[in-house]
Structure 1
Amino acid sequence: MKDAKLMKLSRAHLAKEEEHESTQDEEEDNNELGPNAHISLLDQHSKLKQEAQARIETVREKQLKEEEKILESVAEKKALMGVAELAKGVEYTDPITTGWRPPRYIIERSEEKHNKLRKKLNIFVEGEDLPPPIKTFKEMKFPKVLLHALKRRGIITPTPIQIQGIPAVLTGRDIIGIAFTGSGKTLVFALPLIMFCLEQEKRLPFVKGEGPYGLIVCPSRELARQTIEVMEYFVKVLEAGGYPVLRYTLCIGGMSVKEQLETIKRGTHILVATPGRLMDMLDKKMVNLDICRYLCLDEADRMIDMGFEEDVRTIFSYFKGQRQTLLFSATMPKKIQNFARSALVKPVTVNVGRAGAASMNVIQEVEYVKQEEKMIRILECLQKTAPPQFRAGDKDVLVATDVASKGLDFADVQHVINFDMPDDIENYVHRIGRTGRCGKTGIATTFINKVCEESLLLDLKHLLIEAKQKVPPFLAALQSENEQYLDMGGEIGCSYCGGLGHRITDCPKLEAMQSKQAQNIGRKDYLASGAADW
């Protein structure tokens, strides 16, 4: 009995020792396999993925903060408002009221239906109390004579920017209009202005020396001439249809001031001008903006980029009351939009596609061509399309500088050739926008080589991807930090210039601007030291 008990205790002790050894062996095995040996591979993968995502979020947040600081440091500190208004603290809180209202059945449509139409047409709109989009010129309540005039020009239905933009302007709202070149932005500000002027003339006819009621400012003489031609066409059509006579004036350099002054003295409803000539005439009191209530800045961002910002601010100071302000462009980076909002009252931002995007009606072909081979290649490229015969019909090739890309409209340009890649991607978008206008398809051929800056080529690469165009292998091979940022789930592009191939931390346009400012500061310091006295 005693032996049996000892044997039982011995077996129990042996079992304990075996269990202890087994535990030790298991621990040793675990130590060899690692601390996560008891966790499944799937769970380990999930944990590692979460940790990696957390690190990416931290990097992205850090980069965003850094970019916000850079944008803040270069943001305009002065509002885009008149000097007198700023000094007096004048602030308008409500938009100008007009007598125009959309048809009742359109007003009664739900916002859901309006949004469905906007989504279908790729219209992005921001602002308070958004006016409804309207699909026909007839529903916009334009006179029959104007509708016939539009049809004679081949304009049957409004374009997306017109569908949302024209109702916004007719209701008196300030707007920022952004759409690709050739999308019909001119009619968005031209047709409502003509209707407003007709209303004013019917109520109380303009007398000598009065006016303008509406002012359109363009960055170049060529664009100003083109705009006045549009105004002239519709004004003459209305006059022939028995409507009151509206007078218009073109104020640009290179023309006789005396002739311009004579038309202004007769009383003018619409004034189309370039900043330089307008500033000169305002300064010399040849023209006043006492009753002007409508201001449009065409190619607004180009005007600010070209150094007309102070001129625009000064022009604002000549207004005697609230004005309806309209800003239009094909490329308008966020920094310009935010800056411009200081001059607007409850603005409506109408954006057809991304600001700075290329027209989808343009087939973009990019070719790698050595500098010495360009002349031979351009002769081959000219064979891609039949000659359009420009204006007079005796020329079929137009050679132009960037001035021709600032909103100018040449009918039936089928092919644009960029002999040299422009200095920035905005100019590229404007250049190729001379073709593919009014719903037609066009071709743009661009020559590039090693002379081009890599940052510009990266912008071009991503612009082609966005427009669903063919990306040649030499562009596809280029990689940027911006693409790594995209892999982290960030937004594409530079918040300063709108280029898609880089971030604001690597923006060549910003770098050039800062370099220019530094040179100016250095020059001021040099002159202030008395070095120029002798």
Structure 2
Amino acid sequence: MDRKERHRHEQKNSSDSDDNYVPYVPVKQRKLQKLQKLGRVIQIQDENRKLPGSSENSGNEEDWDPLAPLAKSRPDVSLLDQHNDLIKLAEAQQESKLEKQLKEEEEILASVARERALMGVAELAKGIQYEHPIKTGWHPPHWVLEKGKSYHQRTRRKMMILVEGEELPPPLTRFIDMKFPPTIIRALRKRDIIIPTPIQAQGLPTVLSGRDMIGIAFTGSGKTLVFALPIIMFCLEQEVKMPFIRDEGPYGLIICPSRELAKQTHEVIQYFCTELLESGFPELRVCLAIGGEPVTNAMSVIHRGVHIAVATPGRLMDLLDKKKMHLDTCRYLCMDEADRMIDLGFEEDVRTIFSFFKGQRQTLLFSATMPKKIQNFARSALVKPITVNVGRAGAASMEVIQEVEYVKQEARMVYLLSCLQKTPPPVLIFAEKKQDVDAIHEYLLLKGVEAVAIHGGKDQEERTRGVKAFKNHEKDVLVATDVASKGLDFPDIKHVINYDMPEDIENYVHRIGRTGRSGKTGVATTFINKTCQESVLLDLKHLLLEAKQKVPPFLDALQSESEKYLDLGDERGCSFCGGLGHRITDCPKLEAMQHKQASNIGRKDYLAFGTSDY
């Protein structure tokens, strides 16, 4: 083909391509056409309307809104029709925002998900996974099982119990149906415990059946008995079959985040063991291993053969590392206030403790505040767990009258005296800082108030003596930091005063839970001012609304951008910390955790200091 023919052929091809040419349609116009096709946007016949890509819109195509034409005047359409069209468009736009918010929250949750399971190192290395729960010799009464699942479900609804899991044991509304010996029944009646609370009605059959369990219930609902009574019965069964010999045990282990809570749990278990011993049953030995007390106290019990050990993570790790105690025969593990333990930095200690177990164990986790994130994380250590939930996790007790007052920073100390006049003693005062606790204690003593103070800076003997004097009504007021807020049982407290608002709404729930226990009504007064974080105040506002409490005007006036997204899906509020006043996208606790992790990157560990208990 010569040059002339080639040129003629190229001209022919170019003319063909011109005939098939499709003009370019801008992106915004294509989006509009797509919306019109889906029926979301009504076609507007307006000859003067300019589409994107014209000379007027060519410079700002990105700012053009396909829904904007509906906002213009439309004389050919009635105002009512225009109003309905705008409502439909607003709903469609809002739906897309909600979808975007949910997607963003899922991405955040996935990014903060813990990759390492809450299991022992040996189990992870060998890939050991237990598929079936531990079997026990306990079974529900036959007449209860014969009533059927629908009857059990009605009982749960009546007691407001939410249960998740497979092969659920039936709830039992009498202690005698749980097959406890008469001695235990009499010991419960001595403490005015006649019928089980909701968490006990479902939790005790679950634990007695050998199932792993996550127990969530508001403060003062009797969670301690749910794990204390079964462990006593299991240890009694083991002792009757084959008595424990020297240096053997423990069979059951209970871990608490604070020394005071561990001491209280030890006293509860020791009470029932003493009652059984006086009725002719074998002796059950219980040891208390906490920091601040001589280790010889625990070792004297361990050497004789221990059935139950109650410990804080720091002292327990010390005993296990030095091989003064072993968990070869331990088959029962309970973590009280489990979420607090993980938040306080004991996660690695707990994982290490799991490595000392030589076989399968029954694991129980209890708390009043356990966000979904902690529940999902904890399930990695459980075998076919049953979650028993009485009320929302992190909800305040309905028996507590919550009063929030605006008090200036410099006027709090003086106003404290007038607050003490609200109710008769005993009264519990909480403060965030140790210095504030000492200052309040000194001020009350100068004013002639019988007060005692405890915090992490005092030695264990002084702390024990202070709590004992307050419980025995020798002192009218106890001033404390959050060491006294986790699980401690003060049944007669009439009034809790928060000298300052805690930085975490979960701590607030635990604090006010020291009153209004066992069906009694209590009062909680909280001082707030401009120094409080807005995110915590928003959580407090929504907590008051949930509990149908009076919200003061200065708190009600607070508004946040994320309030319209607080009830997305099944999860209310924040799925990371459980706060009701924000979503995970605005969680200050998550932000603080990420900042802490970022600050620790690349830092060398020059000092071998471990995390100590309170």
Q: Taking structure 2 as the reference length, what is the TM-score of the superposition?
A: 0.78
Partner of 1:458: 538
Partner of 1:518: 598
- Say which structure, 1 or 2, has more relative contact order (CA 8 Å, 6+ apart): 1
> Are residue 444 (structure 1) and residue 486 (structure 2) matched?
no
Deviations 1:243-272 (A, max 9, x none): 111111111112222231121010011011
Moved more, 391-400 or 342-351: 391-400
Structure 1 counterpart SS, 2:297: helix
Partner of 1:88: 126
Partner of 1:15: none
In 2 relative to 1, CA 410–56 (structure 1 residues): closer, same or farther, beyond 3 Å? same
Moved more, 499-508 or 515-524: 515-524
In 2 relative to 1, CA 248–487 (structure 1 residues): closer, same or farther, beyond 3 Å? closer
Partner of 1:531: none
Q: Is the 8 A contact 1:161 1:350 kept in 2?
A: yes
Structure 1 stretches of 4+ with a deviation exceeding 6 A read 487-490
Q: Is the 8 A contact 2:162 2:389 kept in 1?
A: yes
Give the counterpart of 2:471 among 384, 387, 391.
Answer: 391
Cα distance in 1 between the residues matched to 2:505 and 2:73 = 55
Structure 1 counterpart SS, 2:519: coil
Structure 2 counterpart SS, 1:138: helix
Cα distance in 2 between the residues matched to 1:522 and 1:484 = 40
Cα distance in 2 between the residues matched to 1:288 and 1:320 = 10
Q: Percent identity?
A: 71
Partner of 1:57: 95
Deviation of the 1:429 alpha carbon: 0.4
Partner of 1:367: 405
Q: Is the 8 A contact 2:218 2:368 kept in 1?
A: yes
Deviation of the 1:34 alpha carbon: 3.5
Q: Is the 8 A contact 1:175 1:347 kept in 2?
A: yes
Q: Is the 8 A contact 1:360 1:467 kept in 2?
A: yes
Structure 2 counterpart SS, 1:413: coil
Deviations 1:483-524 (A, max 9, x none): 222588885311110000011111111111111111111645
Deviations 1:291-342 (A, max 9, x none): 1000000110111011110110111111111000000011111111000000
Deviation of the 1:65 alpha carbon: 1.1
Moved more, 332-341 or 111-120: 111-120
Give the counterpart of 1:339 among 377, 382, 388.
Answer: 377
Partner of 1:242: 280
In 2 relative to 1, CA 138–36 (structure 1 residues): closer, same or farther, beyond 3 Å? farther
Deviation of the 1:208 alpha carbon: 1.1
Matching of residues 267-282 of structure 1 within 5 Å:
267-282=305-320
Matching of residues 351-500 of structure 1 within 5 Å:
351-388=389-426, 390-486=470-566, 491-500=571-580
Structure 1 counterpart SS, 2:291: coil
Cα distance in 1 between the residues matched to 2:89 and 2:570 = 18
Structure 1 counterpart SS, 2:484: helix
In 2 relative to 1, CA 526–232 (structure 1 residues): closer, same or farther, beyond 3 Å? closer
Q: Taking structure 1 as the reference length, what is the TM-score of the superposition?
A: 0.89
Residue type at the aligned position of 2:378: A
Unmatched 5+ stretches in structure 1: 1-26, 528-534
Deviation of the 1:439 alpha carbon: 1.1
Deviation of the 1:46 alpha carbon: 4.9
Matching of residues 95-494 of structure 1 within 5 Å:
95-388=133-426, 390-486=470-566, 491-494=571-574
Structure 2 counterpart SS, 1:163: helix
Deviation of the 1:480 alpha carbon: 1.4
Q: Is the 8 A contact 1:482 1:492 kept in 2?
A: no
Partner of 1:504: 584
Residue type at the aligned position of 2:527: F
Q: Is the 8 A contact 2:425 2:477 kept in 1?
A: yes
Q: Is the 8 A contact 2:152 2:171 kept in 1?
A: yes
In 2 relative to 1, CA 382–95 (structure 1 residues): closer, same or farther, beyond 3 Å? same
Deviation of the 1:526 alpha carbon: 13
Unmatched 5+ stretches in structure 2: 1-44, 50-71, 427-468, 608-614
Deviations 1:349-403 (A, max 9, x none): 0111111111111100000011111122111110011123933332101111100
